[in-house]
Amino acid sequence: MTHYQCGSCSYQSDHLGEAQQHSHQTGHVCIGKDGAGPAGGRFGKARVVVKAGASVLAATTIGVLAWKYKGLQEEHEELQTKHEGLLSMAAGLVVQLAESTAENESLKSENDYLKSATGASKTLKSYDC
């Protein structure tokens, strides 16, 4: 009977399907032992190694993509926080602008009054001795 041994840990199995499942789950490579190999002639062991290598490559690729996704997600959250801060600052500036405009209008009205005949008369009378 064929016996499969993991090259990275102590896993052993007599069934090819279980050995392949172990390879897919862990990324380890299982090799046929005791002269027995998978059906397919002298290239059978090479096929197992190639399949296991492809599994390792796929697992590594998934890991890199997950890592990159996490990095992009953190960057997105950071930009979201900056965006919210800028919106808050802009809202504060709009309020200050509105207050300044109202104060400017009030001062303009007072200035217009003081330039008018009535305002000028009252101002001059307040300086009479």
Would you list the domain boundaries of the chain? 3-95
Average pLDDT over residues 83-102: 96
Does the pLDDT at position 56 exceed 90? no
In terms of Cα–Cα distance, which of 36, 35, 31 is closest to 50?
Answer: 31
Q: How confident is the model at residue 108 (pLDDT cuts 50, 70, 90)?
A: very high
CA distance linking residue 45 with residue 34, whole number of Å: 12
Whole-model pTM: value is 0.40
